[in-house]
């Protein structure tokens, strides 16, 4: 393999005497590479040494030395990640070099290392770039270097800034207009320039559009590609709608698969905006699907048909057949992957097709290739409906248990998200789902503890009928000592504890529960979880005592209670000195209650003595017997202000009062809040603003205005006031879940308490469309101007670069354009618009041409 | 000002099995440290994949289409919605051209002629867009450029 002679060393011999000495000592690129490769272990030091050499050499005045140094630096920088920015100026110095090799080198270095954000010197290159771009028109260098403009084109496309682009845009126009090997390159550079600098649109857009009709297929391909990129999301595809006829022509005539693919992509963005286009392209699409041998083209056709033309049954049938073909290619994993991907695109409109391939999808879940598994998972989730949710989810969870950690968590994540969507829309049998949640928590690599615990509690709050099953699942989780060591599960365990405490009435064995909640290994739990555990113990104890008094439960008798009490005392006692406030707090509460009821000896005993204890127990039980329900996000808004309550006035009074007090007082104002005086299920009722320092004037004020400030004491409650405020936990008027939907399901779907419909619907979609509309508005606006303005001008008009008149024209025309884009393009409107635009420039074409042009579009679409 | 450039091809990497980069061409602006990270991640992604697996992997919010030829991995990063099969063909075309140009190219050829490899690449992809799909045309162009040197 004879490689061409390494260029630096051969030319360096021919250099002038003065630099001979230099170059003899300068190492060439080859030398550098060889030395770097010679000793891998000392590579960093060799590179460092070379870099310092290069720094020295590059400052030399001899261009050859410089260029060799630059070449070496380029090598080091691109492959060994060293910043080249110190050489930026030298690179610029070499750009004007007459020697093509040096020029090429300099441009390469520039395109690899320049960027507007890192190189402030970029504007200095403007003149040189301008010279090089227009070199073909000057006779001097055109013969020796016919492809010279391609160099600056590359640089422009990679490293340009908005300023540079706007200065050089006019130079691109002759390159775009003349059919030459450079034309496709110019097109590619143009698209970059356009997206960087929308103000160049008037200059560049028309030549770009003309390239679509060029004889050179490469130019056409490049132009289609450029429009494909310009219309890609997040940009707005609407301005390119008028180009549809030309692109259609390309679609029908082009022989190149690449071009066809890009044209199809553009159509896939335009068809949603103009459904009539869909009817036009169905025919060529179907032809491709039937006849083309190129799998890439077939793939693109499938994607286009499925995403844009779902109503054209014939085309869909063809597409679905092809998808099945892809899925069944056992020998080529790429095709199978693509089959799965396109299959997923068929949901939700054509689920029957997905169902037919269920086997293949299920099998692909177990494929060793991660990419295929992912796609299969996506398709499975898309296929899951209420009817088959049990089957699908069980299968998936079972698969998760067998998979590696990453994929297992992905599966769990998708099952959790889709089942909880729309307030558990997919779940019909909550008992099954709850036990599935428990199963999920036990999967070895599960990291979704947060979501699982959230859902467990959420279901407990919303679905009454599921509570017994929840308690059962919770019990199993709590009893198992091995789970306590797993730090991913502690929030699941605290959810389980909360459920057991809250719904203890469904528990079969409270004693066992208490034992589980107090087992020794619970010391491994973090504070938050322990706090919940202890609180639950309190709830269970209260319940047991109460049921003992009521004699309602056979499980709870004297001995049981006694055992419970002693167990609690023994295990929890030491925690009373715990360092964590949360735990200590609850422990003390618990112990307090324990000591109070410890005196229950005999049920039938002296009522007087035990009377107080009964009372205590009853009150405690009453505390916990309120049902906690979900709180809507809009609950506060729904609280209607009672008529006799005058909010504004009250606070106005206060302000004059507060100004009398010192500054510290007013700063702590925010802590004066309205607390509805309700019996909260949790016993840590925050008793009003405690942080406000009581000064005499404020105390008096409060006494006077006791109506507005709810007192901190229970006794002085104004009863009518509490009635006015709905309690925090009360479930507000709601719409119940649909219980009558699935007739054939044996068990009726339980009621799911939803509060606001659409409470959890993400508002992000609306936000994102807003953002999309904001982005690139200047570009799409500018293009709209040009395209619709162009129709008014007729075929031959010269675009003046006079931006001032353009700017004025833009503003005036814009309003009209938006209207005309939406409706039919009435001839009269266009003519009117055209005439207005003509005011600013010479009148090239009579309005007649306008009338001729618009029917073309309309004919095309009909 | 940060520009969000939508580019069909975001970058092209040629890496050997040990993770050394033999060629890196970026069509979107990235800092040097980011480039380092990207090359490391892509290498890790592709080097462990079984030859029987698909040639497409997800990479951050994009897709990498790769193929292994002897000891080198050719990777192209494209948009999620791009046509995978078309880019696979693109990679193959590039390899065929290199092969023709260097006559049975081997890794060392690429190491010592890195600027020529950039030249070839630039003839055939500009601004992340595929320019020329005819092998013959590119080779002819390269011949002309050679004559100038």
- ipTM value: 0.88
Which of A235, A258, A333 lies at the smallest CB-CB distance from B6?
Answer: A235
Determine, for residues B7 and A7 on separate chains, whether the beta-carbon distance falls below 8 Å. no
Average pLDDT over residues A231-238: 81
> CA-to-CA distance for A231 and A247, rounded, in angstroms?
13
**Element holding A764 (H helix, E strand):** helix A764-774
Q: For residue A743, name the pLDDT band (cuts at 50, 70, 90).
A: very low
- pLDDT tens per residue, range A280-301: 888 888 888 888 888 889 999 9
Please give the structure tokens belonging to residue A208.
Answer: 């770009």
Which chain B positions have a beta carbon within 8 Å of A36's beta carbon? Answer: none
> CA-to-CA distance for A822 and A236, rounded, in angstroms?
15
> CA-to-CA distance for B60 and B42, rounded, in angstroms?
10
Q: Is A256 on the interface with B (CB under 8 A)?
A: yes
Give how far A316 is from chain B: nearest CA, Å. Answer: 19
> CA-to-CA distance for A228 and A793, rounded, in angstroms?
26
pLDDT higher at A795 or A173: A173
pLDDT higher at A810 or A76: A76
- Residue A140 makes CB contacts below 8 A (sequence gap 6+) with none
Which of B21, B53, B131 lies at the smallest CB-CB distance from A371?
Answer: B53
Which chain A positions have a beta carbon within 8 Å of B79's beta carbon? Answer: 232
Q: Are strands B62-69 and B72-78 parallel, antiparallel or unpaired?
A: antiparallel
**Element holding A644 (H helix, E strand):** none
Determine, for residues A108 and B29 on separate chains, whether the beta-carbon distance falls below 8 Å. no
Which of B84, B112, B144 lies at the smallest CB-CB distance from A338?
Answer: B84
The total number of residues written for chain A in this structure: 862
Is the previous residue joined to A562 through a cis bond, with omega within 30 degrees of 0?
Answer: no
CB atoms within 10 A of CB A18: 9
- Whole-Å CA distances, A514 to A518, A526, A527, A767: 6, 19, 18, 49
Identify the three-state secondary structure at position A106.
helix
Give how far B40 is from chain A: nearest CA, Å. Answer: 12
Closest CA to A106 of A125, A128, A91: A91
> CA-to-CA distance for A90 and A70, rounded, in angstroms?
8
> CA-to-CA distance for A494 and A768, rounded, in angstroms?
37
> CA-to-CA distance for A476 and A481, rounded, in angstroms?
10
- Whole-Å CA distances, A777 to A343, A380, A773, A782: 35, 38, 7, 8
Phi-psi label, residue A676: left if phi above 0, alpha if psi -120 to 50, beta otherwise: beta
**Element holding B14 (H helix, E strand):** strand B9-16
- Whole-number average pLDDT of chain A: 72
Q: Are strands B129-130 and B125-126 parallel, antiparallel or unpaired?
A: antiparallel
Residues 76-105 of A with CB under 8 A from B: 78-79, 81-83, 100-101, 104-105
Is the previous residue joined to A234 through a cis bond, with omega within 30 degrees of 0?
Answer: yes
Please give the structure tokens belonging to residue A451.
Answer: 């979501």
Closest CA to B50 of A374, A377, A368: A368
Q: Above pLDDT 70, what percent of chain B?
A: 90
- Whole-Å CA distances, A89 to A94, A479, A579, A622: 9, 73, 65, 82
Half-sphere exposure of A64 (CA within 13 A, CB side): 22
Determine, for residues B52 and A333 on separate chains, whether the beta-carbon distance falls below 8 Å. yes
> CA-to-CA distance for A339 and A375, rounded, in angstroms?
9
**Element holding B148 (H helix, E strand):** helix B135-148
Average pLDDT over residues A365-373: 86
Taking the alpha carbons of A65, A66, A67, A73 in that order, is the dihedral positive or negative? Answer: positive
> CA-to-CA distance for A608 and A610, rounded, in angstroms?
5
Determine, for residues A334 and B148 on separate chains, whether the beta-carbon distance falls below 8 Å. no
Closest CA to A305 of A293, A326, A287, A327: A287
Kindly report the pTM of this predicted structure: 0.69
Which of A49-53, A115-119, B141-145 has the lowest average pLDDT? A115-119
Which of B50, B55, B103 lies at the smallest CB-CB distance from A1?
Answer: B103
Question: How confident is the model at residue A703, as a pLDDT?
Answer: 62
Which of A48-52, A480-484, A822-826 has the lowest average pLDDT? A822-826
Question: How confident is the model at residue A682, as a pLDDT?
Answer: 37
> CA-to-CA distance for A500 and A539, rounded, in angstroms?
9
Identify the three-state secondary structure at position B13.
strand
Q: Is A242 on the interface with B (CB under 8 A)?
A: no
Phi, psi (degrees; rounded to nearest 5) at B130: -70, 125
Q: For residue B38, name the pLDDT band (cuts at 50, 70, 90).
A: very high
Long-range contacts of A395-401 (CB under 8 A, 24+ apart): A395/A362, A395/A365, A396/A365, A397/A436, A397/A439, A397/A440, A397/A443, A399/A365, A399/A366, A400/A440, A400/A443, A401/A443, A401/A444
Q: For residue A310, name the pLDDT band (cuts at 50, 70, 90).
A: confident
């Amino acid at each position: 393999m004879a490689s061409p002679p390494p260029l630096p060393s051969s030319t360096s011999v021919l250099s002038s005497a003065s630099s001979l000495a230099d170059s003899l000592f300068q190492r060439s690129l080859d030398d550098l590479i060889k030395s770097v490769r010679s000793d891998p272990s000392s590579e960093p030091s060799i590179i460092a040494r070379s870099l310092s050499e290069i720094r020295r050499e590059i400052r030399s005045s001899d261009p050859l030395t410089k260029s060799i140094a630059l070449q070496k630096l380029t090598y080091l920088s691109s492959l060994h990640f060293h910043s080249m920015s110190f050489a930026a100026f030298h690179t610029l110095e070499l750009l004007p070099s007459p020697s093509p090799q040096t020029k090429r080198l300099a441009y390469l270095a520039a395109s690899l290392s320049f960027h507007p954000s890192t190189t402030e010197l970029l504007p200095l290159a403007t003149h040189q770039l301008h010279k090089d771009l227009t070199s073909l028109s000057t006779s001097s260098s055109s013969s020796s270097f016919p492809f010279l403009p391609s160099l600056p084109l590359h640089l422009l496309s990679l490293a340009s800034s908005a300023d540079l682009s706007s200065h050089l845009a006019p130079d691109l126009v002759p390159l775009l207009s003349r059919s030459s090997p450079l034309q496709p390159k110019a097109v590619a550079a143009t698209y970059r320039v356009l997206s960087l600098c929308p103000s160049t649109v008037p200059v560049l857009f028309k030549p770009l559009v003309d390239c679509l009709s060029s004889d050179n297929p490469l130019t056409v391909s490049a132009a289609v590609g450029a429009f494909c990129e310009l219309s890609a999301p997040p940009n707005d595809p609407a301005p390119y709608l008028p180009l549809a006829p030309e692109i259609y022509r390309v679609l029908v005539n082009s022989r190149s698969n690449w071009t066809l693919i890009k044209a199809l992509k553009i159509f896939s963005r335009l068809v949603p905006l103009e459904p009539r286009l869909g009817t036009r392209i169905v025919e060529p699409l179907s032809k491709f699907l039937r006849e083309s041998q190129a799998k890439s083209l077939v793939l693109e056709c499938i994607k286009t048909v499925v995403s844009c033309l779902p109503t054209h049954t014939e085309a869909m049938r063809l597409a679905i057949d092809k998808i099945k073909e892809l899925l069944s290619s056992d020998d080529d994993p790429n095709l199978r992957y693509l089959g799965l991907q396109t299959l997923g695109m068929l949901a939700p409109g054509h689920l029957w097709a997905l169902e037919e391939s269920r086997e293949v999808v299920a099998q692909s879940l177990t494929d060793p290739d991660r990419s295929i598994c992912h796609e299969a998972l996506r398709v499975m989730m898309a296929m899951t409906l209420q009817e088959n949710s049990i089957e699908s989810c069980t299968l998936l969870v079972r698969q998760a248990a067998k998979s590696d950690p990453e994929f297992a968590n992905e599966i769990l994540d998708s099952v959790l998200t889709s089942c909880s969507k729309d307030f558990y829309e997919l779940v019909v049998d909550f008992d099954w789902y709850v036990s599935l949640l428990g199963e999920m928590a036990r999967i070895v690599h599960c990291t979704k503890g947060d979501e699982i615990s959230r859902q467990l509690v959420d279901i407990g709050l919303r679905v009454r009928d599921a509570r017994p099953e929840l308690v059962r699942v919770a019990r199993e989780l709590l009893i198992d000592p091995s789970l306590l060591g797993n730090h991913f599960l502690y929030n699941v365990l605290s959810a389980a504890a909360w459920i057991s405490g809250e719904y203890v009435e469904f528990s079969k064995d409270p004693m066992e529960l208490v034992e589980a909640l107090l087992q020794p290994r619970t010391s491994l739990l973090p504070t938050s979880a322990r706090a919940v555990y202890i609180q639950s113990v309190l709830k269970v104890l209260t319940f047991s005592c109460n049921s003992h008094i009521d004699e309602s439960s056979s499980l709870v008798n004297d001995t049981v209670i006694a055992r419970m009490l002693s167990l609690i005392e023994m295990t929890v006692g030491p925690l009373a000195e715990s360092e964590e406030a949360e735990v200590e707090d609850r422990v003390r509460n618990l112990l307090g209650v324990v000591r109070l009821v410890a005196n229950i000896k005999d049920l039938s005993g002296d009522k007087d003595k035990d009377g107080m204890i009964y009372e205590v127990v009853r009150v405690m039980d009453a505390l916990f017997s309120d049902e906690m329900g979900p709180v809507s996000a809009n609950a506060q808004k729904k609280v209607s202000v009672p008529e006799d309550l005058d909010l504004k006035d009250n606070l106005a009074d206060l302000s004059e009062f507060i100004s009398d007090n010192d500054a510290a007082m007013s700063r702590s104002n925010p802590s004066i809040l309205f607390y509805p005086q309700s019996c909260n299920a949790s016993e840590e009722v925050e008793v009003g603003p405690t942080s406000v320092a009581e000064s005499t004037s404020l105390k008096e004020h409060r006494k006077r205005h006791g109506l507005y400030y709810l007192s901190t004491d229970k006794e002085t409650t104004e009863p009518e006031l509490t009635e006015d405020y709905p309690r925090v936990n009360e479930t507000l008027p709601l719409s119940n879940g649909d219980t009558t939907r699935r007739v054939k399901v044996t068990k009726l779907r339980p009621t799911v308490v939803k509060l606001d419909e659409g409470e959890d619907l993400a508002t992000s979609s609306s936000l994102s469309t807003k953002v999309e509309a904001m982005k690139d508005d200047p570009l799409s606006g500018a293009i709209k101007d040009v395209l619709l303005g162009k129709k008014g001008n007729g075929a031959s008009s010269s675009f003046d670069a006079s931006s001032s008149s353009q700017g004025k024209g833009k503003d005036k025309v814009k309003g009209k354009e938006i209207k005309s884009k939406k409706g039919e393009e009435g001839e009269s409107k266009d003519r009117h618009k055209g005439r207005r635009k003509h005011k600013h420039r010479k009148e090239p074409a009579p309005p007649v041409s306008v009338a001729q042009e618009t029917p073309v579009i309309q004919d095309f679409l009909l | 000002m940060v520009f969000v450039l939508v580019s069909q091809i975001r970058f092209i990497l040629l890496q050997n099995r040990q993770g050394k980069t033999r060629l890196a061409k970026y069509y979107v602006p990235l800092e040097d440290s980011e480039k380092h990270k990207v090359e490391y991640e892509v290498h890790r992604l592709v080097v462990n994949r079984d030859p029987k697996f698909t040639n497409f992997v997800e990479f951050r919010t994009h897709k990498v289409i790769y193929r292994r030829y002897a000891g080198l991995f050719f990777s192209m990063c494209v948009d999620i919605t791009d046509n995978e099969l078309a880019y696979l063909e693109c990679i193959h075309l590039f390899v065929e051209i290199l092969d023709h140009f260097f006559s049975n190219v081997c890794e060392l050829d690429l190491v010592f002629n890195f600027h020529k490899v950039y030249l070839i690449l630039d003839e055939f992809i500009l601004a992340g867009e595929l320019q020329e799909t005819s092998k013959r045309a590119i080779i002819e162009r390269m011949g002309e450029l050679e004559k100038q040197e």
